[in-house]
Structure formats: structure tokens, C-alpha cells
Amino acid sequence: MSDTTQELVLAADGRPLKQSLRRALLRQKLRALMLIAPLLIFVVVTFIVPIFSMLFRSVENEIVPDTLPGVTQALADWDSSTGELPNDDVFRHLYIDMFKASEAKTHTRLGSRLNYEMTGLSSLFRTTGRGLDDIGEEWQDPLEDIDPNFKDGAFWYEMMSGTDGEDLLEERRDLFATMVGESMDGDVGFIPSMQIAEMLPWTTRAYTDFAIWTAIDDEDVVAEEDPWESVYGALGMDLTNPDSVAAIQSYSGFGADALKAAVANVDQLPQTTFRAEFGKENEDWLSPEVWSTIQLYSSRMTPGYFLNAVDMQLTPDGIAEKPENQQIYKQLFMRTLVMALIITASCVVLGYPVAWLLANLPMRTASLLMILVLLPFWTSLLVRTSAWKVLLQQQGVINEILVWLGFVNDADRLILMNNATGTIIAMTHILLPFMILPLYSVMKTIQPSYLRAAKSLGATNWTAFWRVYFPQSVPGIGAGSILVFILAIGYYITPEIVGGTSGVFISNRIAYHISSSLNWGLAAALGSILLVVVLGLYWCYDRIVGIDNVKLGG
Amino acid sequence: MRLLTSISVTALLVASSGTSFAADDMASNMTLVSWGGAYQASQTAAYAEPYKKMHPDVTITWDESSNEAVAKLRAMNEANNVTWDLVDVVAADALRLCDEGLAMEIDPDEMLEAAPDGTSAEDDFGDLLVSDCFIPQIVYSTTFGYRTDMVPEGVSAPDDICDVFDVETYPGKRSLEKRPINNMEWALLCDGVAKDDVYDVLATPEGQQQALDKLATIKDDVIWWSAGADTPQLLADGEVFMGSTYNGRLFSAIVEQDQPIAMLWDAQVFDLDGWIIPAGLPEDRLARVKDFLRFATDTQRLADQAKYISYGPARASSAPLVGKHAELGIDMAPHMPTDPKNSKNTFLYNYEFWADYRDDIDAKFQAWLAQ
Amino acid sequence: MNELIVNIKRPNLLTFTMPIVAVLGAMFGFVTGNIFGDPFIGAVGGAVVGAVLALALAKIVSIKRWKKIWGVAVVFAVVAALFGGVGGFLGGFVVGLSMGWFATWVGTGKYRAGVPIYYTPGQVLWHCTFLFICAFVFFFLIAPLIPVVWLSFNAENFFTFTPEMLSFKSAGYSLKHYRDFLGTDEWMVPLKNSLIIAPIATLISVSLGTLAAIGLSQSHVPGRQVMMAILISPMIVPLIISATGMFFFYAPLGNWLQLNLGLNQAFVGYVKVILAHAVLGIPFVIITVTATLVGFDSSLTRAAANMGADPVTTFFRVQMPLILPGVISGGLFAFITSFDEVVVVLFVGSARQQTLPWQMYTGLREQISPTILAAATILVSVSILLLATVELLRRRSERLRGMSPG
């Protein structure tokens, strides 16, 4: 005996049994994984990844730094707590960035984005977008008077072109591409001159942007087009810089005469700042709050949407609660949870007796009655919801019958719809089969002999039910409840139709932000929170009951 | 050689006239987006069907998504997957889509047919070309309808917009659209703001609050609608006493469905509805759309549309051609929002204002609604 | 339990049947009296009518029970029609039917049928109350379908019961919505699309889902919990989030398929919707199949393997037949998920893949028309027929196999 225990037990093929078993186990695991793999990959690729990329929008904030790259950089040094406006440099960047954005029509999107944080910014961006040309013309007209060459697109092209400016071109091209979200590849047919770029940095930026847009998007020849108004404005900026003026004095390349004339007649140019010009377009630009909002949201990631989703906001002094009259989401989350709980509870109350009956009737009758349960289930959700509308409204079937029977006065008919009552009734009806089916399949497995045994041991009907039958049916209740609860939280079409304003869920808000207000970041934030709540519930459920115990009929 | 030249000249002429591309260059399928209901039916009857008769190989798919057009076009544009070819939107949406670069800019004189008397398309449409991307089809109005059998005894039927806000004299629910546009203007009008000042007041936060406060006085009596079919249904059910909706929907309920409903034309808000072409369509689809659009917006087609629905055609030259209802044979003119009897007191909708302030006011309105 | 019922004894007429029927009569009388403004006189009158009815029905023995019930119903209906016209006729008929049924049900002692003979009256009362509660729930489930079917014959284009409909004049009814449904492309194309998309999506989710469920149910699978959570997630994530997420995934995928594989746009459109719907159906398949596999005796597969069957044969000949009910019910859920799905298809599909729910949704928003109800009525009828056929087939096979049903 002792010999055999020490000797290795060998399997039929001569390998040690232990190794052979391990190998078999590994093979088994691999086979199981191979069976799961196709579906797992399918679900991960076509569902999990898209969902997460959608939810990622809740923190993503690229549009601000992408649309206003210069402004966000220049704003970084500004201290909003002083209550003073940012310096004119910021406004110059704003002009260059905004002009470019308005040509590509992305400034309106940025306005919509920032409007989520501070109402009023959308109209600010839209109205200013239309006035940018006027600002540029303040400089364009006198410049063209000083030297008519400035009217000529070919003259500008000749003056700005040169060598060594490839890096600058690529830098502006990249900025453009990230702003419009499309590739701007292609031949621009223009290379900025490095000499000019060092002499006239603002002008070169503006002109390069103009050249890229003209060549790539409009598909025109740069030399044949008159430059944007922003180029004149930019030249105006450069002419206020003593370094640039000094460089122009010693410059002798193409266009030197025109530039020198401009320097000589600088007093004909508007003696104003870009800050004042923007203030003239819309006085909101002169409000420090606007600027602190832009500064707060100039990073690539933002907690703003999540804060919004819990009725908070980011202020220069840190995170703060929103004003009372703008708080809605916490209340909505609570309402969603409470109503989903009520719906789940009513489903349990209504579903339990029916499931019990179905499980205890003879097969023949039970399957007939099962048709009654399945029938509404097979009917389109939309149709059932509109049926409830017909039943519940004030001139609806239920009220009509009650009035006819004299129980309700014609003048004060019951309000069963366009409030929480309507949502609860209709949703309970719609989700009831999801409760009955799992309950039924669990109850089906409970042996009736247990009950009889309990009774024969002297238990009353109630004790027998409560102490013997009910505990065994708990997994069914659990399965049905989790199913109903999760589905209830996510529904939005039924509440939308019968819920009015006080019977809607957080999912309705999500749908609203996705399809009407276009605030996808907030929708994603609300969705993420909802998802976390549901996952938490799912986790608890899995801990307590085990997800394997969920059964749907059958 | 001469022959060759003449052929190429003809080809050049044909090509430059723009109407007849070779059939190969045009897509054979077109997805049109519209509003569904009686309105879409009028479009089908007035231009889609005749066009299909002319081009039997073309299939037209309708998508009733105009309500979510802005959101969907934005998503499509972002995903670079525009499946729509021609989208019917209200003017404010068109402005917005144009601002965001989601709609193509058009040149009316080049792309649209001139009027039969030779007036250029641009002049024929006139002021109604409110955006560079927008080709208007119809003038409609948003106005109120009320149940004639629910007017309280001893009280005259409502004839003033402010009767909407007077729940004492006219008890019963009202249905209003679940968005600020129009509601805010009506509220201010009935809160003592002069017609010409409405938009100036509404541009200020105080004015917005004033409008919301006025709306709050009837908030408990309002059922909010979001789809065009809601108000006629609510009126037919007797669920509401009065409700706002598009005049064509009310026309259909009153005249075609014979419901006990009457129109309250006071302070009706004129608005435009028309086509936009999504930006970035491939060549072949664009060619087909342009071909269809030229046909669908000519003088006769727009006049034909008015046979099926009581919306005024957007071309000045179509107006004299408006005749009788296609099935009922009644005169359409008295049912048009522009009829002098109906337009005694009208309110001019300010597109620019709403394009600029929509985001701002919508955010406030929705927050107000959710509380 | 049936065998316990031996010879049901008729309850005492005077002390039991008559008072109880009188109580029901009083209730109906109260309601009827309420219509005319005097509920208490109504209640008293109703009680008398009830008692008399119970007595009369008990004394007449020669007529069959169901004939008695219908007779009572007709008499009540006619009498009520004299006072209340058509509405009265209907109401009287319903009241008569319930009174007649109740009186014979109580009078013949049938109410004790489902319970053991040793039950006390209290227990019997509880049992009967319980049955009534269940009946109420069934009514709650089915009742909303009644106006759907009724309104689908509306002659007008609204979801409203017109006076003509309520007084049962033929002018109030028409089949025009059925003609609209069956006769126009507007509805037939979406129906066709739904019938293409739903079965294929179901097939994908059932085949992949069943395989994965079998894999998951084997012991020693590493990371089982996580995988299960991932596979169930399409059911957990709110649909509107899934819809937008999937839109941004499928749009570039569709572009890629069109550009690189040269597939046509319509075909790619179907592929997108089918894949999206397949994902949504998967949790249902996984849940039902794993639940069936919990009770599956794995020694059976080992026995099959022992006898020389290869894994594929084992699967199809041994495992599959046993877990088939679970697979079928999972498949049904997946089918319904796709067939009734509107949110995702609105985002992922394009107008050429319009499904039936899509058409219904836009119909409800843009032109409330009872055509939707006609569509629903037809679908409900088809599903009743299908369910009934399945049930009949099941009974037939049981009879053939010599098993007594139930």
C-alpha cells in the first residue's frame, strides 16, 4: 500500500495522472473559452467599446482648446480673481481664432457648448461671428487708402510667400484640422516666408490660415483670392508692435514700400484696441465672468458635465451648488429611483398571485392562461402605451365609465395621465410579464409536497406559505424585480407619452439632451451615473441571489 | 469636323443649362426628410409622385424625421455618414444648420427655376429667402384652435390671443408646444409688452423671466405637446379646450375630419418651411437632388401643393394659381393664413433672434418646465 | 388535487346561496342606482333581484347551466335596453352574465371545486378571493388591448370613440385602416423590413448566445462573473445611450464596408441594424439558456462521449434537445426585442430600413392614425394564432406519446 502512494499514478497513456488531469482541465477551460470567445468579442467590439466611447464624451472638452487655441493659451496666465479683463493680447488671439472658426462655421458649435455652462454665450458667439468682418474693415479701409496694393490678392501672396516657413504652415494646418475635425491635407500652394513671419507674426498667422482654408476647403488658388479681413486686422496688430515697426524699417523685400507707407501713416489706422472693438460688437465681451467661464473650460478634459448632472457648477472659487431654480437633476434621479421602485413593487404585488396560480394549475389551463400573459407582451410597446393614453386621459375610457356610472362628477374627472400616476400604471402594465415569467419558472420548481408536509405537521396555511413556500420563491422575486427595475429605469418612450412633466424619468432628460438640446456631454454624464447605479444594483443582486438564477419563462 | 463641333457645342449647351445631366451621373435613390402626416402627403402628391412619373427609375424614400433634423444631421456629419439627400426644416432650423455648416449654401438663381413670367427665382421668393442654405416652400402659421362646444355659456367665443391666458373666463386645459419659441412671445404680448418690443424685451434675462412668469400663471392647465399630431388629437378628444399647432393641421381636423373646432387666428405667428441640402453630399446624389429640387420648387408645383393643405406657397408667382381643395373642392384661399380676414393681427417671427438666443432661452425654459 | 373532490354538495339555498347572490345583486344595484341618482334604492332592488334570481335558477333543474347563464344575460340586457338604450343593453348583458354565472357557480357548489374538501369556509372564501384577484390581474393585462382592437375599426382618423361608435351605428365603423395597412407601401415595406431583420438578428443572437452559455456553464471558467456582466450589459445600459453609442460605431463601419468591400448602401444598412439588434437580444438568450443549463446533468454528455460520439454529435443529439426549451424561449425574447425595438433602429438605421415600430413611432408622432391600431390588431391576431397552434401541437404530441396532458 505505501508503495503505491509514493509511486506516481500513471494515466493510460503513461503520463503522470496529475499532469494528465491538469492538462485535461486546461483543455476544458480552453474549450469553454473558445465557446464564449466569438460572442464575447462580438459584444465587446460592437457594444462595450461604442458605449464607453459615448460615455467618454461626458469628460471630453476638446472643442474649446481646439477652436480657440490661441485664446486658451494666452488666457492661462490671466488671474480671474482680480476682476479685471484679460489684456489685449487675449482679444487679438480671440480675433484670429474666431475669424478662422467663423469661416469654418465652428464658432457656433463652440457657442452652443459654452452656453451649457453660462447661458448667453451662444448668442454672444453667434452675433459676434457676424461682426468679425466689420472689425477687420476698420483696418482694411485705411490700409487700402494708404497703399492700393493692399487691395490686391496677388500682392499679398507675393509679399507673404517665401522660404523656410514649412513648419509654421504645418503648425497652422494641424490647428485647422483639429478644429474642423477633418483632415486638411493637400497642397496649399503657399509657403510663408520666415523673414516676414518674424517681422509680422500676427499677419503671417492670419494669412496662413486664409491660405490653408482657401486652398483646401474652397479649392481656390491662394494668389487669386483677396485675403480675409482678419489679415488686415492682424497687420494692424503688428503695426502697434515697436519690434515689428523697427523690422519693417530695415526690410527691403517685396512689398517693403507698402509696409513702410503703412508705418509712416500709422496715425490713419484706428487708434483702438481689439478689446474695445469686441466690446463694441457685444458688451458681454467686457464682462470678466464670460472670460472666467472660457478660462475654466479651456482644458481638454472637464468635470463640468458631471457637475452639471448633479446640479453643481464649476466657478472660479471652486465647485458650488447651482442656483435653486436651476436644480433639476438630483430631484429627477430621486424621482426615477422612487418611481422605478413603486413600479417594481406593484409588479411584485400583481405578478405574485398570478404566477402562483399559473404554477399550480394543471398544465392545460396554465398554458391557456399563459397566452393571456404573453399576449400584451407580444403587442408593440408603442401600441400599448397609446392604448393607455386612450384609457387614462380625462375624456378617456376609464373616466367616461366612472362618469356614466355616476361615481365621478363630470366637472372633476380624475387626472390619471400626464403625471406620475399615468407613468406608474402604464409601466406596471408593460413590465408585468417580465415579473410573471421569472416568478413562474421559479415557482414551477417548488415541490407542492413541501407545502403539504408543512401543513400535515400542523402549520396553518399562512405559516406554511410564509415559512416554507415564500422563501423558496424569493429568487424568482429577485430575478423579476431586478429585470423590471432595470428596464423601468431605462424606458423613456412610455413616460414621454403618458408622463407629462411630473411623470418623466432621467432617461427622458437624456433623450432630450441627445435629440433636442444637443448637449451630448451632459447626456453622457447622466447616462454614466445611471449606468453606475444600475451596475451597482446588478452587483448587489449577483452577490445576494446570483445572476444564474434569473429565469425567463420556460 | 463640323459635325463634331456642333455635337460638342450642343453637349456644352445641354450641360450648361443644368437641367439635364446624363442619367448615369445621378443617383437613382433619394431620401427625403419631412414631417409626415398631411403635410408630407401634400408633398408626395404635388411633387414626389409627378417627379417619379417623369423618372420611373428613381425611388424616393421618405423619412419622417424633420423634428430631430438638427440633432441627426449633426450626428451624421460627425460620423461622416450623411444618408439624407434633402431635408425639410423650418426656417429657424435652416438658419442654425447653415450657421453650423451642416447645410449646403445655394444660389437660387442658378439652382431654381425662374417664374413663368421670367422673374428670377431670387426675386420670386423675395424676402422669404431668409438664409443662404434655405429654399422655402410654404408659409404656415402657428395659431390656436379651440373646441366650439366647450366655450362656456354666456361667454363669447375666444377671439384674442390673451384668452389663452385667461383661465377664469375660459376654463379648461390648453396645449402648448414644449419649447419656448412662440410661447414666450405670446406670453409677453399678453403681459402688456407692445408687439414691436417683444424681441427687445426677450433678449434680456428680465424679459425672459417675465415671459416665464406669465406662462407660470397657466402652467397647471397646460398639456405640453412635442409632435404636430398631438393638438388635433387632444382637441378631437375634448381633452383640451384650446391648443396651439400649425394651421394646416387644424384645417385638416376642421374641414377634412369635420371636428367641432374653430380657429383663433389672433396673433398667429408666420413661419416658413422649406428644403435644405445637407453639406457634403457625393456628386451623383447631389446631382439628383438638384434635379428634383428644381422641379419641386417651380411655380406650378408649389401652387399644386396648396390644393392638399392650407399653407401658402412661398413663391409670389404661385399665389394666383392656388385653387380649390383636391378632394373636397372647396376654395382654399379663405383657409390660408395669409387671407386678409385671418391675418388681421399677425406676429412676425424673428428668425435671427431665435437662431441667436435659442440655446439660451431653451435651457431656461426646460429648467423651468422640469421644476 | 382533483381527486379530492368527491360529490360536491349543493349549499343551502336559503341561508347561503340566496344571501350571497343578493349581495352581488345589491352591488350591481348600487351602481345602476347611482346612474339614476339613487344608489340605495338601487341596492335594495338589486338585492331582491339577486335573491329571486338565485331561487329561480336553483328551482329550474331541467336546463343546462350555460343555457341558464345566457338566458339571464339576454333577459337583463333586454330589460336594461328599455331604460338605457344601447349602453343599457351592453351593461345589462354584462351584469346578467355575471349574475347568472355567479348564481349558478355558488348555487351548484362549484365554488368549492378547486379546494380540498376539508377546507373551512374561511379558507374557501380566501381561495375564491384569491381567484378573483388573479382574474383582476388578467383583466388588467388584457383590458388595454380591447380599445386597441375596437378603435382600429374607427371610421375617423383619430384615437377617439365617436358617438357613432358608441351607439354601434355602422357609419362609425370602417375597415379603411386595415386597407391602409395592407394596401400601402408605407406599411408593407416596414413590415417586410421587420420580417427580414428580426429573424436574422434572432438567429445570430441565439446561435452565438447558446454557444457562449454552454461555455459559461462549464466549471472552472476563469473570469466568469466579468464575462457574464459584459454579455448581459446590452440589457442594462439605457437604450438611448446604447443607441447613440452604436450610431457612432456603425456609421464609420458602414462607410468602410461600402468603400472597401463595395457593398451597396441598402445592404450595409440592413447589416448594421441586424447586428445592433442581435446584440440587444443576446442577454435574453444568455439568461434563459444558462438557467436551463443549471439543471443540465453533465454526466449525459460524458456518457455520450464515452460511447464514441464526437463533441458535435453530442451537442446536437444529446445536449441540444434537452436545453431546447430554454433556447426557444430565449429566441422568442430576442425576436420580440428586435421586432418591437424603436430607439436603436431610429439611430442606427436609415429610412430604407424602416421597421414596423419605426413606422408606428413616426405615425404616433406625426399623424395619429388608427392604422397603427389596425397593424397592432393584425399582429395580435397572428400571435394568438401562433401561440394557439404551438399549444395544440404540444397537446397532440403529448397525446401521441401517450402522456395525459397536465
Cell 405537521 sits at which residue? A457
Q: How far is CA A181 from the centre of its chain?
A: 17
Within a domain: B329 = no
Neighbours of chain A (3+ CB pairs under 8 A): B, C
Q: Reduced to 3 states, what is the DSSP secondary structure of residue A253?
A: coil
Which residue on chain C is closest to A462 by alpha carbon?
C123
Whether B214 and B347 share a structural domain: yes
Residue C210 has pLDDT above 80, yes or no: yes
pLDDT mean over A304-327 = 86
Q: Is the pLDDT of residue B2 over 60?
A: no
Which grid coordinates belong to B354?
431665435
With respect to residue B4, please indicate whether it lies within any of the assigned structural domains. no
Mark out the alpha helices in C295-370 (DSSP H runs): 299-306, 311-313, 320-339, 343-348, 356-366
Which among A427, A484, A510 is positioned nearest to C239, based on CA atoms? Answer: A510
Q: What is the pLDDT of residues C21-59, one digit of tens each?
A: 999 999 999 888 888 888 889 999 999 999 999 888 888
Q: Report ipTM for this prediction.
A: 0.85
pLDDT at B1 over 60: no
SS3 of B258, please? coil
Cell 411623470 sits on residue: A503
pLDDT exceeds 80 at position C296: no
Domain-located, residue B134: yes
Per the CB < 8 A criterion, the answer to whether C103 and C92 are in contact is no
Burial readout A281-315 (b: 16 or more C-beta within 10 A, e: otherwise): bbebbebbebbbbbbbbbeeebebbbbbbbbbbbe
pLDDT at residue C405 greater than cutoff 60: no
The answer to whether the Cβ–Cβ distance between B99 and A108 falls below 8 Å is yes
Q: Where residue A306 falls among pLDDT bands split at 50, 70, 90?
A: very high
Confidence band (pLDDT; 50, 70, 90) for C402?
low
Using the Cβ of C171 and the Cβ atoms of chain B, whether some distance falls under 8 Å is answered with no
Does the pTM surpass 0.90? The reply is no
State the amino acid at position A294 in one-letter form. Answer: I
Q: Is B327 within the bounds of a domain?
A: no
Question: Is B229 near chain A, with CB under 8 Å?
Answer: no
Owner of C-alpha cell 413603486: A342
pLDDT in the model for residue A300: 92
Query: Which carries the bigger pLDDT value, residue C356 or residue C112?
Result: C356
User: What pLDDT is stored for residue B12 in this prediction?
Assistant: 43
Q: Is the pLDDT of residue B10 over 60?
A: no
CATH number (domain holding residue B260): 3.40.190.10
Side chain identity at residue B23, one-letter code: A
Residue type for position C368: I
**B135 DSSP assignment:** E
- Domains, in order of start, for chain C: 2-112 (no CATH), 148-174 (no CATH), 181-396 (1.10.3720.10)
The segment(s) of chain A belonging to CATH 1.10.3720.10 are 329-549
Q: For B89-148, how does the pLDDT look when each residue is reduced to its tens digit (9 = 90+)?
A: 999 889 989 988 899 999 999 999 999 998 999 999 988 898 899 999 999 999 999 999
> B239 vs chain A: nearest CA distance in angstroms?
6
Q: What are chain B's partners, defined as 3 or more CB pairs within 8 angstroms? A: A, C
3-class SS at B63?
strand
Q: Which residues in C lie closer than 8 A to residue A389 (C-beta atoms)?
A: 159
- Segment B68-83 shows an average pLDDT of 87
Say whether both B94 and B207 belong to one domain.
no
Residues B210 and B109 both lie in one domain: no
Mean pLDDT of the region A529-553: 75
Three-state SS at B348: strand
Residue of chain C whose alpha carbon sits nearest to that of A546 = C225
Among A328-337, B233-242, C7-16, C306-315, whose mean pLDDT is lowest?
C7-16
Facing A40 at nearest CB: one of C161, C212, C356: C212
Supply the pLDDT for residue B357.
Answer: 85
Quick one: B256 and B314 in the same domain?
no
- Interface check B237 vs A, CB under 8 A: yes
> How do strand B135-147 and strand B242-246 relate by DSSP bridges?
antiparallel
Which of C141, C274, C290 has the highest number of chain A CBs within 10 A, making it the mutation to test binding with A? C141
Query: Is B234 inside any structural domain?
Result: yes
- Give the mean pLDDT of C385-400: 78
Both B249 and B296 in a single domain? Answer: no
pLDDT for B251 beyond 80: yes
Q: Do A512 and B366 touch (CB under 8 A)?
A: yes
Average pLDDT over residues C90-115: 86
Separation between Cα atoms, residue C309 and residue C324, nearest integer Å = 20
Distances (CA, A) of C208 to A36, A552, B47, C289, C345: 8, 18, 47, 11, 21
Would you state the pLDDT for residue C401? 64
pLDDT value at residue A545: 67
Contacting residues for B52 by C-beta, under 8 A, at least 6 apart: B58, B60
Please tell me the distance from the alpha carbon of residue B321 to that of residue C19, in angstroms, as a whole number. Answer: 78
Q: Which of B96, B224, B360 sits opposite A501 (nearest CB)?
A: B224
- Nearest 5°: the CA angle B5, B11, B15 is 145
> Per 3-state DSSP, what percentage of chain B is helix, strand, and coil (rounded to 5)?
50, 20, 35
For residue B111, is it within any domain? Answer: yes
d(CA B29, CA C89): 57
Domain match, B104 and B56 both: yes
Which of A517, A519, A522 would best serve as a mutation to test chain B binding (most B beta carbons within 10 A)?
A517
In whole angstroms, what is the distance from residue B82 CA to residue B282 CA?
Answer: 10
Per-residue pLDDT of A53-74, as tens digits, reads 989 999 999 999 999 999 999 9
Counting residues of chain A whose pLDDT is more than 70, the rounded percentage is 97
**Total structural domains in chain B?**
2
Taking only the tens place, the pLDDT of each residue in A138-155 is 999 999 999 999 999 999
One-letter amino acid for residue C113 of the chain? A
Alpha-carbon distance values, B108 to B14, B19, B131, C184 (Å): 20, 14, 11, 36
Res A160: pLDDT: 92
- With b meaning 16 or more CB within 10 Å and e meaning fewer, what string describes B306-329? bbbbbbbbbbebbbebbeebeeee
pLDDT digits (tens, 9 = 90+) for C31-41: 888 888 888 89
Most confident of A125-134, C33-42, C111-120: A125-134
| A334 band by pLDDT with thresholds 50, 70 and 90 | very high
Upper half-sphere CA count for residue A226 (Cβ side, 13 Å):
9
* pLDDT tens string A228-269: 999 999 999 999 999 999 999 989 889 899 999 999 998 888
Q: Does residue B301 share a domain with residue B181?
A: no
Whether B5 shows a pLDDT value over 70: the answer reads: no
Q: What is the pLDDT of residue C284?
A: 86
What's the pLDDT score for residue C171? 87
Domain identity same for B264 and B316:
no
What sign does the dihedral C261-C264-C268-C270 (CA atoms) show?
negative
For chain A, give the number of residues.
554
Write out the H or E segment, with its range, that includes residue B94. helix B91-99
Please check whether residue B285 lies inside any domain of the structure: yes
pLDDT in tens, A217-230: 888 899 899 999 99
B208-212, C171-175, C217-221, C267-271: which range is least confident on average?
C217-221
Closest to A368 measured CA to CA, from C388, C143, C329: C388
What fold does the segment set A329-549 form as a domain?
Answer: MetI-like fold (1.10.3720)
Q: The C-alpha cell of A486 is what? A: 432595470
Alpha-carbon distance of A429 to A49, in angstroms, equals 34
First to last CA, chain B: 80
Query: CA-to-CA distance for A440 and C32, rounded, in angstroms?
Result: 39
What angle, 0 to 180 degrees and rounded to 10, lies between the N-to-C axes of helices C239-260 and C265-294? 130
Cell triple for B124: 420670386
Structural domain of B114: 14-139+273-321
User: What would the pLDDT profile of C224-266 be if each residue is shown by its tens digit?
Assistant: 888 888 898 898 887 888 988 998 889 888 888 888 888 888 8
Closest-CA residue of chain A to B93: A516
Comparing C-alpha atoms, which of C221, C125, C186 is closest to residue C375? Answer: C186
Do B178 and B281 belong together in one domain? no
Q: Which of B58, B62, B83, B237 to probe by mutation at the C interface, max C CB count within 10 Å?
A: B83
From B216, B165, B207, select the one nearest B186 (Cα to Cα).
Answer: B165
Q: Is C310 on the interface with B (CB under 8 A)?
A: no
Q: How many helices (H) and strands (E) does chain C have?
A: 17, 0
Q: B195 and B125, same structural domain?
A: no
Both B77 and B130 in one domain: the answer is yes
Q: How far is A374 from chain B (nearest CA, A)?
A: 30
Q: Which three cell numbers stand for residue A171?
A: 503648425
Q: Which residues pair with A320 in a beta bridge?
A: A313
A419-461: pLDDT as tens digits: 899 999 999 999 998 899 888 888 887 888 888 899 889 888 8
pLDDT of C228:
86
Torsion of CA B326, B146, B365, A338, to 10 degrees: -110
pLDDT for residue A377 = 81
Instruction: Give the mean pLDDT of B44-53.
Output: 94
Q: Is the confidence at residue A12, as pLDDT, over 80?
A: no
Kind of pairing, strands A318-321 and B86-90?
A: unpaired
Strands B261-276 and B86-90: antiparallel
pLDDT at A461: 83
Least CA distance to C368: which residue of chain B? B229
* CB proximity under 8 Å: A 279-338 to C: none
* Cross-strand pairs, B274: B89, B136
Span A181-203, mean pLDDT?
90
Q: Is residue B301 part of a domain?
A: yes
Q: How confident is the model at residue B229 (pLDDT cuts 50, 70, 90)?
A: confident
Nearest-angstrom CA–CA distance, A445 and C109? 32
B264 in the same domain as B146: yes
Per-residue pLDDT, averaged over B183-202, amounts to: 94
